[in-house]
Amino acid sequence: MLKRWRTRIVLFLAVLGPGFITANVDNDPNGILTYSQSGAQFGYTLLWTMIPITLALIVVQEMCARMGVVTGKGLSDLIREEFGLRMTVIVMFLLVIVNFGNVIGEFSGIAGSLQLFHLTKYISVPVCAVLVWLLAVRGDYKSVEKIFLAASVFYIAYIVAGVLSQPSWHEALVATVKLPPRSAWRDNTYLYMVIGIIGTTIAPWMQFYLQSSIVEKGVNVKNYGASRLDVIVGSIFTDVVAWFIIVACAATLWVHGSGAIQEAADAAEAMKPLAGRYAFLLFAFGLFNAAFFAASVLPLSTAYVVCEGLGLESGVDKKFKEAPFFYWLYTILIVGGTAVVLIPNFPMVQFMIFSQVLNGILLPIVIVFMLLLINRKDLMGKHTNSHWFNAIAWLTAITVALISFIYVWSLIRR
């Protein structure tokens, strides 16, 4: 009996790979904050987004994994080869801007989570930034990744926190499958939050990161089934965690009328009297783990992706002189992110959600590129998209573009 369980666990862990890691980095402080905020501000009324987003996330991530396996090339490589240098530079430029926003969010998360343990951000953030930098350049990232992966067990903390917050299960479940009243759509802040949730869950950087990881792992077409499962399990896990964060904040902050939060850590702080000390600790520790993990992955992967697309030397195994652009970009992202967070009274929450909205606006562009690439017979052979996949991916791209457009339009009209 014990042995059977053990093989089951081993089988499950063997499946966990790039897809699961990407999904875990996806629940970074920006994500946690966006989910918390939507729960705090709108209660259960945004839960309906979770099912369609999960579906879209699975489809989009699966496309990346499949492209990585079949072509053996990263997404930025493919964009470069098939759409030329100018298009690549534009996409990479947008990606750097958006990712810089994300990096700031990660360091805000580090600041916020350690503030809960009474550590000032003026110490915690620079120390963590140096650690992150050294980790990639001097350390052995692969083994650190395993530690992070083990630490992502802490994401279960959010599920526990959700349960401890004693939500109205009935109301939450109904809200998950029911669309909100039409009046909600006229609310600017509600639209803004929808884009933010989509942008943070299906973040553009994930597509680049996942495809590169799959290529690096060297999965071949025959073993693709396992990678697909990995992607699906990861996507579902991410969104289950997201669902519980929204529920936890809805059940505590929204129900008690505390309204919008000012910092990711506020959610944890606010939860303390309402849901008990353990919920607070779990929330806080989960936040730190997520922030540090994402802060280690994002700047590095951005530097890699950009250098790959532009054909510049990259890699931590190269010396600074051999790959100057790579190191400069990597360093600037970290130092810049740290510097912004250290500005006194920096409006972290507003900025973090804004960065997720930027994610949401860039997303349709990336999906369209992916769709154009994946449906090419000369690249993908018989592994092009099925009609259903195309339909869902196009629908995602068009919907997100439409919501972004409506939002921007309503801003202009105001």
Partner 1 sequence: MRDKLAIPTLTNLLGTPITDVEGRLRGRVKDVAVGTGSEAGKVAGLVLKTRKGLEVVPATEVRPTPSGAIELRPEATLRPVKGDDSFILLRQDLLDRQIIDVHGRKVVRVNDVDLEWFSHNGGESLRVTEVEVGLRGAVRRLLLGVLPKRALEAVARTFPARVIPWEFVDMIEVDPARRVKLKIEHERLARLHPSDIADILEDLAPAEREAVLTTLDEEVAAEALEEVEPKLQKHMVESLDSEVAAGIVEEMDPSAAADLLAELPEERSEAILEEMDPEERQEVEELLEFREDSAAGRMTTEYIAVPRTATVADGVRALREFDGDPETITEIYLIDDADVLQGVVPLARLVLALPGTRLEVLTDPQFISCQVDEHQQKVAELFDKYNLRALPVLNSAGKLVGVIEADHVIAFLREGR
**Residues at the contact surface with partner 1, assessed by CB under 8 A:** 71-73, 77, 80-81, 84-86, 89, 215, 218, 220, 310-311
Q: What are phi and psi of 203, to 5 degrees?
A: -75, 140
Nearest CA among 108, 192, 189 for reference residue 361: 192
Closest distance to partner 1 from the beta carbon of 397 (Å): 24
Query: What's the CA gap between 31 and 120, in Å, rounded?
Result: 23
Closest distance to partner 1 from the beta carbon of 87 (Å): 10
Greatest CA separation for the chain: 66
The pair of structure tokens assigned to 253 is 């902050």
Q: Which is nearer to partner 1, 215 or 248 (CB)?
A: 215
Q: Which is nearer to partner 1, 80 or 228 (CB)?
A: 80
Q: Which is nearer to partner 1, 81 or 269 (CB)?
A: 81
Instruction: Write out the H or E segment, with its range, that includes residue 332.
Output: helix 324-342
Residue 14 burial by Cβ neighbours in a 10 Å radius (0-12, 13-18, 19+): exposed
Closest distance to partner 1 from the beta carbon of 196 (Å): 32
Closest distance to partner 1 from the beta carbon of 94 (Å): 15
Contact 125, 138 (CB under 8 A): no
Q: Which is nearer to partner 1, 87 or 160 (CB)?
A: 87
The secondary structure of residue 219, as a DSSP letter, is -
Closest distance to partner 1 from the beta carbon of 142 (Å): 12
Q: Which is nearer to partner 1, 72 or 336 (CB)?
A: 72
Q: Which residue has the tokens 């990639």?
A: 136
First to last CA, the chain: 65
Q: Which is nearer to partner 1, 307 or 392 (CB)?
A: 307
Cβ contacts of 74 within 8 Å, gap of 6 or more:
68, 208, 211, 212, 215, 305, 308, 309
Closest distance to partner 1 from the beta carbon of 311 (Å): 3
